[in-house]
Every structure is written in structure tokens, then in C-alpha cells.
Amino acid sequence: MKIGFIGLGNMGRHMARHVLEGGHDLTVFDLSREAGRPLEEAGATWANSPAEAARGAEIVFTSLPVPANVLEVATGEGGVLSAISPGAVLVDLSTIDPDTAVTLDAATRAAGAHALDSPVSGGTVGADRGDLCLMVGGDHEIFERVAPVLNLIGAAEKLVYCGGIGTGSICKLANNLLGLSTSVMISEAFGMAMKAGVDARTLYNVISASSGDSAALRGWGTSILNGNFEPGFMVDLAAKDVGLATQLGRSLGLPMEAANLAQQRFIEAQRRGWGKDAMQAVGRIQEERSGIEFRFPESESESSD
């Protein structure tokens, strides 16, 4: 198939690579010209605009930072919808709010094409491995049509059809609210226990075998405990996700006290200028308060995933 891919950042570059390796004819675009080079070397074609990436494609993927970027790339001048083929499918892989997904769907239908919201989970490690969870909203028939290509990006057993347009985004915001607020609690738990005299390895061994275990501990937690601050998921994007979740709660008139408290920790990390750092930086706030770095003893190291 001829496929367009726009947004070749920490996630997009891996996902686009898997589409290319699946044998498809791939055209790519990003604001950063450099981001396209490795894919071009692997056989992709560079486009000079989102419209050029979309022209003639049966599927167009976007993986962009925030909802405004997604709308701009789709509906702006030189955008995807100015060139999309009738019947083609625009699949947004970004984390956005459901209202933006609905707006995108309406604009895409008006252009004679179809839209799916398909946010992803599994981080850059999952994107690299091609075993992400994809949670998809939109028409079921369109979902089934593109599922074989979605399975190049994610694991088939983790491909979840969620319902109508926007439902993928609702699921993603619920998931990230849970994972990201758990990371705040992990930093408080480690600060408390380590200041009281238990080392990080002992505490990790206990929690990972007990009721406090979580994917957040094994992912984000092991990264900070290993001193791994490699950029993967930026504080700014984490703050956006928690913010979109609390905004959705407000729009429903639903009190979510704990979520709004967790959000303050991400806002504080941004205020300190850590927005472009890996989201592990959020843990630094509680490290400072406890006067302890949350690290495994130096003699050890464990890969994070």
C-alpha cells in the first residue's frame, strides 16, 4: 500500500520504520528535515508538506505532540485533508482529547475520507519493538480495513477496538492518568521508605512482588532507579496527558481530586524548566524534598522496559 507518515519523533520514527519494513511504499514528513533521514536511507520518500505525504496514500498516519498540532497538520494550509484521496484513512496515533478526535473526524468526512483515533501505549521501547498497545476509535469496518497495518506497529493481541470515534482517546487518557499519577505516588513511597532507612533494591524487590506493583514501577520506576534519564517521554507530553484527563473530567462535571493533585506535580516540573526532559524528572521533586536520590546500589544495573 502507499502510506503517508507525519511526525517522526521519539515514537513516530519507530512506528514509521515498522510500516516500511512491512513492505509498504512509505512517504514521510516532519517539521525537522533531519528526522526523516534514517527513514529515507531505509527506503522511504521524503515529502515537503503534510499534503505531499498524503497525496495518493491509502492510509495517512500522524504522531504529533498535542491536539493543536494534529488539527493543524490535518486541516491547515498544505495539510493532509487538502490532498487526501477519496476513501483513504487518516489514523492519528497521537494522544489527544476525544473532542479533537470528533472534530478531526468531521473534517475528514467532509474531505471524502475516514478518520480513526488510535493512540498508543508502550513507550519508545514498545515502539521500537513493534509491540505497542493500540486503542482505536472510529467505524469498525474502517478499523478492520487498516488492522493489518496497525499490527505492524503494535502487537496483534494488544490491538483493541474501543468503539466510535474518540473512544480510543478516552481510553488512552484514562490509562495515562493512572500510569502517570502512579509515578507520583511511587516517588512519594520511595522517598518515605528510603529516608526511613530502606535501600532502593530492597524496596523494589518487595513492591514488585506485592500489591503495590505496577507497570509504572517496572517502566518509569526502574528508569529512575537505574539513573536512566534518556529522553523518551517528555515531561511536557506527560503534563499534557494528565491535563487532558482532568479537563475531560471537568467537562463531565466530575470531581477527580487525586488526578488534579497529581497534575500539580507535572506543572511544577514544567515550572522548573524540565519540560523537555524525560518524564523521570518528575521524581526529582520528591528526591529533593527527601534529600535522597532514588537509585539502586551502584553495584547493580537492570534494564528498564
Please list, in sequence order, all residues whose beta carbon lies within 8 angstroms of the beta carbon of residue 29, skipping any fewer than 6 positions away.
4, 5, 6, 36, 46, 47, 48, 49, 50, 52, 53
Residues 159, 133: Cα–Cα separation, whole Å: 6
**32 binds ligand NAD per the rule CB under 6 A:** yes
Provide the H-helix boundaries in 118-234.
123-129, 140-153, 167-195, 200-208, 215-216, 222-225
List the beta bridge partners of residue 137: 117, 163
Nearer to ligand NAD, 154 or 191 (CB): 154
Q: Write down the least CB distance from residue 278 to ligand NAD, Å.
A: 9
Residue with cell 497495518: 149
Nearer to ligand NAD, 180 or 194 (CB): 180
Task: Looking at residues 90 to 149 of the shown chain, list those that interact with ligand NAD (rule: CB under 6 A).
Answer: 94-95, 120-121, 123-124
Determine which residue in the list 22, 65, 164, 275 makes contact with ligand NAD, applying CB under 6 A. 65
**266 binds ligand NAD per the rule CB under 6 A:** no
Nearer to ligand NAD, 15 or 193 (CB): 15
**237 binds ligand NAD per the rule CB under 6 A:** yes
Q: Write down the least CB distance from residue 181 to ligand NAD, Å.
A: 16
Residues 149, 93: Cα–Cα separation, whole Å: 13
Q: Do 12 and 30 touch, CB atoms closer than 8 A?
A: yes
**Crossing angle between the packed helical segments 98-110 and 167-195, to the nearest 10 degrees:** 150
Catalytic site residue from 172, 195, 240, 276: 172
Determine which residue in the list 190, 204, 220, 233 makes contact with ligand NAD, applying CB under 6 A. 233
Active site residue 240: no
Chain positions contacting ligand NAD, by CB under 6 A: 6-12, 29-32, 35, 63-65, 69, 72-73, 94-95, 120-121, 123-124, 232-233, 237
